[in-house]
Structure 1
Amino acid sequence: MHIFMTNDDGFESPGLIEMAKKLSRLGRVTVIAPNRGRSSCSSSLSLQTYLRMWHKESYGENISVLSCNGTTADCCKLALEHWLRNDMPDLVVSGINNGYNSGTDCLYSGTVAGALEGAVFGIPSIALSAETIKDKDFLDKASTFAFDIVRKYFVQEKYRGTLSLNIPKEGKELSLDNLKVVKLGVQRYENAIREMKDPSGHLGFWLSGKMLPDAAPDTDVFWIHRGYPTLTPLTWNMTDRDALEKVRASIQ
């Protein structure tokens, strides 16, 4: 089995390194990831920009590592259109990301975008996100759980689509029994925009905010904030199928 990995936290991210080590039990792992953090880069491409790649020290046996000065999507395009064109992967794994990618945050996530690039090429894929990757003990638990999910769906069940997994640090035991398979919700924030001034008195803004837990109860946003791991099938196709006929009928 050949697994291609990427992320948006950079090739030195503990989440990527730990996950690559675990996935190397399933076969060969090729990593092409940004040379620095690219959080919230979504599916942006670095057009009219000279892209470079560098070989990096391996994380372990059966793992080859390269970094690129572009975005997550750049890394995926370089891998799937060129670098691995004669050695295409059987699976694309993006992450583990530092922080959730739940609900509408998937629109901004470079980690989710990496998995969706797999979908574009018809390759099974998964985006992995955890509440944090800065706690070593939790990262070991989260990566073990993520490995179990990958093995179950892509090795045992032969799933051919794209999935997004979110893993909480506090809450329920990380097990299949507690896994909530649900749709995306709306992730809202409190104090998302902070107004401030620099030392010279110039007005500026800082985007951050606190994630709000309120959402419809059949969504990932609802359950992830209540301590349950969530899994959501994704697609690149943003067509509103329910509205398609209505819009079409209006021109007839």
Structure 2
Amino acid sequence: MKTQHSRPNILVVNDDGITAPGIKNLIEVVQEIGNVVVVAPDGPQSGMGHAITIGKPLRFDRVDLYEGVEMYKCSGTPVDCVKLAVNRIFKGKKPDLCVSGINHGLNNSINVIYSGTMSAAVEGAIEEIPSIGFSLDDYAQEADFSHCKKYIKAICEEVLAHGLPPATLLNVNFPNGEHIKGIKICRQANAKWAEEFDERKDPYHRPYYWLTGVFQNNDRGEDTDVWALDNGYASIVPVQFDLTAHHAIPVLNSWSFNV
């Protein structure tokens, strides 16, 4: 870890927008550790996954929301924020750490695929920056993040001290409530959303659809992020962005492609 005279540079991003309470709480934590630069969407960007903006310009403006913090709002996606930060602010001299969140709502299990919070952290890892996504099981605007802060600080300090394995980032989720039992290192649970589209009518009697669904956990293991959170623990899942199904390669090599 860097000495006090050479504090680490920390990039803070999110998907709930630059004025979200979650990012304010994350800034307060990492300010104790290093020099903070914030680049966040100018409005909510939840569920954007790893989307990027192409075909239209991005706006990127300095803002002064919190004293002593260099902050920028971006018209694009969470991933755009990371790309702009690396390219335009750090100019290739990458930060020592990228943290994303604190998200209002969990990003456990399959939710990591859809999450703008986690995709921002993935982009940081693609840029070879040690990266962490943080989420809390509370969607409320007035959510209380105070019980997460000591864990966030400890996790960030460990990552700065030890680094992360290549092409790996951390997905950290916190249960709701002020009593967290501790931290569990987990695997991603085998779960999914059972989705429905609720059909409704607009004032002109034309149908439109509203996505709804129920989260279904099909995994009874006690080593998963879902189990940890259900039992009062914070979960840490190491995530990789290599999507290759390596176990399937021998199977495909056994096929005969008669062309």
Deviations 1:196-244 (A, max 9, x none): 2223322221113343455332321233233321110011111111111
Q: Secondary structure at the match of 1:201?
A: coil
- Partners of 2:99 and 2:245 in 1: how far apart? 27
When residues 82 and 245 of structure 1 are mapped into structure 2, their CA distance, relative to the original with a 3 A threshold, is farther
Corresponding position of 2:151 = 145
| Alpha-carbon contact 1:163-1:232 (below 8 Å) kept | yes
Q: Which of the numbers 148, 166, 169 marks the counterpart of 2:173?
A: 166
Corresponding position of 2:137 = 131
CA drift at 1:123: 0.9
Q: Which moved more, 1:111-120 or 1:222-231?
A: 222-231
Which one-letter code corresponds to 1:68 in the other structure? C
Deviations 1:81-121 (A, max 9, x none): 33212542000101000100011111110000011011111
* Structure 2: stretches of 5+ with no match in the other structure: 1-7
CA RMSD of the aligned region, Å?
2.2
- Partners of 2:153 and 2:140 in 1: how far apart? 18
The question of 1:201 aligning with 2:208 is answered no
Q: Which of the numbers 90, 95, 103 marks the counterpart of 2:96?
A: 90
The question of 1:77 aligning with 2:78 is answered no
| Alpha-carbon contact 2:130-2:169 (below 8 Å) kept | yes
- TM-score norm. by structure 1 comes to 0.89
Corresponding position of 1:102 = 108
The question of 1:46 aligning with 2:53 is answered yes
Which one-letter code corresponds to 1:163 in the other structure? L
- TM-score norm. by structure 2 comes to 0.87
The question of 1:179 aligning with 2:183 is answered yes
**Percent of counterpart pairs with the same letter?**
28
- Partners of 2:154 and 2:31 in 1: how far apart? 13
Q: Secondary structure at the match of 1:209?
A: strand
CA drift at 1:135: 7.1
Corresponding position of 1:189 = 193
The question of 1:216 aligning with 2:220 is answered yes
Q: Which of the numbers 104, 110, 125 marks the counterpart of 1:119?
A: 125
Q: Which moved more, 1:223-232 or 1:24-33?
A: 223-232
- Partners of 1:122 and 1:192 in 2: how far apart? 38
- Partners of 1:156 and 1:247 in 2: how far apart? 41
- Partners of 1:70 and 1:137 in 2: how far apart? 25
| Alpha-carbon contact 1:20-1:59 (below 8 Å) kept | no
Q: Secondary structure at the match of 2:145?
A: helix
Q: Which moved more, 1:127-136 or 1:84-93?
A: 127-136
The number of equivalent residue pairs is: 247
Q: Which of the numbers 240, 244, 248 marks the counterpart of 2:245?
A: 240
* Structure 1: stretches of 5+ with no match in the other structure: none
